[in-house]
């Protein structure tokens, strides 16, 4: 049966070759002044070549006084047209419809005094916005209109107005952020006026035939915020004034997990909102929200819940997502695991990186090319670094042997996937294993090699990816039977009692806490720092705080473990006062140190080139391990 995903669709003078949309996602690749960089072009070009039908270029700022987080594209002056034109020209040969999202940050600006419809701060500790006067509102309307004109001059097929996620247009729409009593507030008529004036202005200046897409938050999920019933009415009225299509997202700054859903959110979690809006309009509706599984995305279309589907982070993870669907190669799609580290980097004013795709941000610079000379490469260790190195090396044509001392491949990926909210990581493990099988990597499990045995295989190169081992400090009582290591608990190699003290509130400590809570244990978390969750991306960390608070978990930050005694753990607070914690078990989650397995390979007289990657160099994230494995193998 042919896929509806691959069917063309025509509307508002646009013909889209398939139903796959790349939605706007800020990546931090623009120049500091907001102009288009070569890196921006390479990033979008890779996705255009990958076969998507529509690309909506990211968050382009219409106001010179508005600053977000990190470099962002801008369009408040004619000098930005040429760079944007270069971008469009690079994409057009690939039969892709290209739009540009126009935005004003409103009270979410990070520099100076924010502006907003009402003096309501973004957070309790945030600055109080300056209230826009009617004249200033009309000026901002003109900024959007001018931005749309420049977008058409640059060659874009349409613009998307960002009326979601708590930015300025959404602030006017939402009763939670708009408390005005003039013509721009109060009833829906008033709150919708700002957006309607922008649309009318664009049609007057740019042309009634120029398509305008609007992105809406179907619901905001905050007190007094936009509800689905009200957003349905907004959508109906927008259709009446001639917009071309609607993209249905959700949430605002306070509910970020609805905007950029971590892996604990269900796949297609916003589809029903899109379906509810599609029921009241006849223009095309785009569904969003963890739709990077082909089966889920196709079902949305087959059931008539949307006309197009946005595959956002799925295209970050694999720019050839659409192409692989067309070529019936779904098993080769590199899966997005919704870890949100791409989002986390951008939120810290850094350039986006991807846990599973080492190429991101280095498109056409990092490439997997056939090797000039075929080599026999021995990879020691089958965790994320070793698997990715083996995959890339084999894809380049090398003869690759992979040795793993455990009885299964995956290494620390299995530890990371043990918490209930992180099962998605298994999908990446399965992908890596499929790929090394496809490229005929020779795999030996349950094997520990000695020096002579290794050299007897006559390798040209040895890659050490032997991982890390848990840190166990010289702690009084650490050898008691009631003490377990976090990864042993997560891998079900150790059992614990009902009352558990977890020593260490970093990523592994939070994983084991979530794991044990799901199994009905009473837990306490000890953490030396002022907060738990160090190293966890911000949206998931916020969710974990909420979950632990809801479960009544004591979070003893600025506490350190002093000793463990039978039936209790003894901690010290920041004033060195003893805190006695009765318990049945203590779980140590105190970090990792590099493994020294295969240390003989590092001896000076070892006759074969040896490279180390991943945790055996320095314990880090899955992203670090994958990047090191890919970049090394691409050079061998």
Catalytic residue set: 167
Contact (CB, 8 A) for 23 and 30: no
Residue 352: helix, strand or coil by DSSP? Answer: coil
Cα–Cα distance measured from residue 334 to residue 354, given in angstroms and rounded to the nearest whole number: 11
Contact (CB, 8 A) for 129 and 178: no
How many helical (H) and strand (E) elements, i.e. helices and strands, does the chain have? 20, 27
Contact (CB, 8 A) for 18 and 7: yes
Beta strands in 295-375 (DSSP E): 308-310
Q: What is the 3-state secondary structure (H, E, C) of 354-419?
A: CCCCCCCCCECCECCCCCCCCCEEEEECCCHHHHHHHHHHHHCCCEEEEEECCCCCCCHHHHHCCC
Cα–Cα distance measured from residue 259 to residue 248, given in angstroms and rounded to the nearest whole number: 11
Phi, psi (deg, nearest 5) at residue 591: 95, -175
Side-chain half-sphere CA neighbours of 328 within 13 A: 2
Cα–Cα distance measured from residue 631 to residue 636, given in angstroms and rounded to the nearest whole number: 9
Residue 610: helix, strand or coil by DSSP? Answer: strand
Estimate the share of the chain in helix, then strand, then coil, as percent rounded to the nearest 5: 35, 20, 45
Stretch (H or E) spanning 145? helix 134-154
Alpha helices in 370-485 (DSSP H): 384-395, 412-416, 425-438, 451-455
Closest Cα partner for 601 from 460, 458, 499, 454?
454
Cα–Cα distance measured from residue 94 to residue 569, given in angstroms and rounded to the nearest whole number: 63
Counting every residue written for the chain, the total comes to: 636
Tokens at 175, concatenated: 């009763």
- 56-65 exposure pattern, b = at least 16 Cβ within 10 A, e = fewer: bbbbbbbbee
């Amino acid at each position: 049966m042919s896929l509806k995903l691959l069917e063309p669709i025509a509307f508002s003078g646009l013909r889209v070759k398939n139903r796959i949309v790349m939605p706007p996602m800020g990546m931090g690749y623009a120049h500091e002044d907001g102009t288009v960089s070569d890196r921006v072009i390479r990033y979008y070009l890779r996705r255009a070549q990958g076969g998507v039908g529509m690309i909506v270029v990211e968050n382009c700022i219409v106001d010179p006084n508005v600053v977000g987080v990190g470099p962002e594209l801008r369009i408040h002056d004619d000098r930005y047209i040429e760079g944007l034109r270069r971008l469009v020209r690079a994409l057009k040969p690939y039969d892709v419809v290209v739009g540009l999202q126009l935005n004003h940050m409103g009270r979410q600006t990070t520099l100076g005094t924010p502006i907003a419809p009402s003096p309501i701060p973004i957070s309790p500790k945030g600055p109080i916005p300056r209230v826009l006067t009617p004249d200033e509102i009309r000026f901002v309307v003109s900024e959007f209109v001018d931005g749309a004109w420049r977008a058409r001059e640059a060659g874009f097929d349409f613009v998307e107005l960002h009326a979601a996620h708590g930015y300025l247009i959404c602030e006017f729409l939402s009763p939670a952020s708009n408390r005005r009593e003039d013509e721009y507030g109060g009833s829906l008529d008033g709150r919708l006026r700002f957006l309607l004036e922008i649309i009318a202005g664009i049609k007057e200046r740019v042309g009634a035939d120029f398509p305008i897409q609007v992105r809406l938050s179907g619901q905001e999920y905050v007190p007094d915020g936009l509800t689905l019933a009200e957003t349905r009415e907004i959508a109906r009225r927008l259709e009446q004034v001639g917009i071309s299509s609607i993209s249905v997202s959700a949430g605002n700054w306070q509910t970020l997990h609805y905007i950029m859903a971590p892996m604990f959110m269900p796949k297609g979690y916003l589809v029903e909102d899109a379906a509810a809006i599609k029921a009241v309009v006849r223009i095309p509706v785009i569904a969003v929200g963890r739709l990077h599984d082909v089966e889920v995305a196709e079902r949305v279309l087959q059931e008539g819940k949307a006309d197009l589907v946005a595959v956002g982070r799925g295209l970050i993870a694999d720019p050839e997502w659409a192409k692989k669907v067309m070529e019936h190669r779904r098993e080769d799609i590199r899966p997005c695991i919704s870890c949100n580290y791409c989002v986390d980097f951008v939120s810290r004013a850094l350039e986006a990186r991807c846990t599973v795709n080492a190429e991101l941000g280095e498109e056409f610079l990092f490439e997997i090319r056939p090797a000039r000379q075929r080599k026999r490469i021995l990879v020691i260790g089958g965790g994320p670094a070793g698997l990715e190195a083996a995959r890339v090396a084999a894809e380049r044509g090398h003869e690759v042997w992979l040795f793993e001392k455990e009885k299964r491949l995956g290494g620390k990926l299995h530890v990371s996937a043990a918490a209930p909210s992180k099962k998605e990581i298994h999908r990446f493990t399965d992908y890596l294993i499929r790929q090394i099988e496809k490229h005929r990597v020779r795999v030996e499990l349950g094997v520990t090699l000695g020096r002579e045995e290794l050299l007897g295989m006559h390798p040209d190169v040895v890659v050490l990816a032997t991982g890390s081992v848990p840190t166990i400090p010289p702690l009084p009582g650490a050898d008691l039977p009631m003490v377990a290591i976090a990864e042993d608990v997560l891998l079900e190699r150790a059992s614990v009692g009902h009352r558990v003290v977890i020593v260490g509130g970093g990523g592994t400590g939070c994983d084991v806490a979530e794991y044990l809570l799901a199994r009905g244990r009473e837990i306490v978390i000890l953490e030396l720092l002022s907060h738990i969750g160090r190293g966890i991306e911000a949206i998931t960390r916020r969710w974990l705080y909420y979950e632990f608070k809801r479960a009544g978990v004591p979070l003893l930050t600025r506490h350190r473990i002093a000793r463990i005694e039978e039936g209790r753990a003894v901690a010290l607070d920041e004033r060195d006062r003893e805190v006695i914690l009765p318990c049945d078990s203590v779980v140590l989650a105190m970090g990792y140190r590099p493994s020294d397995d295969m240390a003989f390979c590092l001896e000076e007289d070892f006759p074969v080139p040896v490279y180390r990657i991943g945790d055996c160099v320095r314990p880090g994230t899955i992203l670090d391990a994958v990047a090191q494995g890919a970049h090394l193998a691409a050079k061998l």
